[in-house]
Structure formats: C-alpha cells, structure tokens
Amino acid sequence: MLKHMKKILNLIVLATAFALAAPMFAQPAATKATTAAKATTDKATKAAKAVVAPPTDAEIADAKAKGLVWVNTETKVYHKDGAYYGKTKKGKFMTAADADKAGYRAAKESPIGKKKTTAPAAPAKK
C-alpha cells in the first residue's frame, strides 16, 4: 500500500508542476488579440502605401480644360500649369477654390525662364 501512496503522491506532484508550468508556455489571450490587430494594421498600412498610377496625358489635358489645379499632397502646393502639373508622385486634381479651402497654397512662379526687364538706356551725352 505504501508503494501505491508514493505513486499517487508522485503523480500529484507531477500534475501540479505541469499545471504551474503550462501558463508560462501559453500565449495570453490579450497578446493574441494584439498580434491579430497588428497584422490587420500592417495590411492596412501596406494598402495605403500602394502606388497610385499617375494621371495620363489625356486626364491631364481634360483637367486643364476644366480649369482644375494639380495639388501636390506632399508639399501642400498646387500648380495651375507648368512642369509639375499632374507630374508629382502624390497629388490630385481639384478646383483652386477647394484647394484654398483645404489649406493648400498656390505655387510661386519660377524665376527660370523669365525675361529680365531692363530700364531703357539713358541717351548719350554730347
């Protein structure tokens, strides 16, 4: 009978040890939820970073005909025409009034290509 008691006692000790050790190896439910939420957020971030195709020449011509401006959403500047109209990596077409309301500012004119105006030459003295 003593042998049976020792076996039962050993089984109880062993079962207790396993019961105490199991939570250390199991992932808590809160961590599982956090991991799932992070995976969902990562997918959404990747989708947001997806490359948007730039407008075609036909779309640019159509927007110009409608009087729309090209808003560079990274620099918060809009272009009425010129080299950057419809050509920046991130942007969209909208009316100038809507761009102003949204807090964008008009692009400054480039000094490159402007003709310098000079004062008329003074008449020569005799």
Delimit the domains of the chain by residue range: 57-106
Give the C-alpha separation, 117 to 103, whole Å: 34
The amino acid present at 54, given as its one-letter code, is P
Give the C-alpha separation, 118 to 26, whole Å: 82
| Cut 0.85: pTM above it | no
Percent of the chain with pLDDT over 90: 39
For residue 29, what are its two tokens? 């439910």
SS3 of residue 85 by DSSP: coil
Whether pLDDT at 94 is above 90: yes
Whether pLDDT at 7 is above 90: no
Least confident stretch, 46-50, 78-82, 98-102, 113-117? 46-50
* Mean predicted lDDT score pLDDT of the chain: 79
Whether pLDDT at 99 is above 90: yes
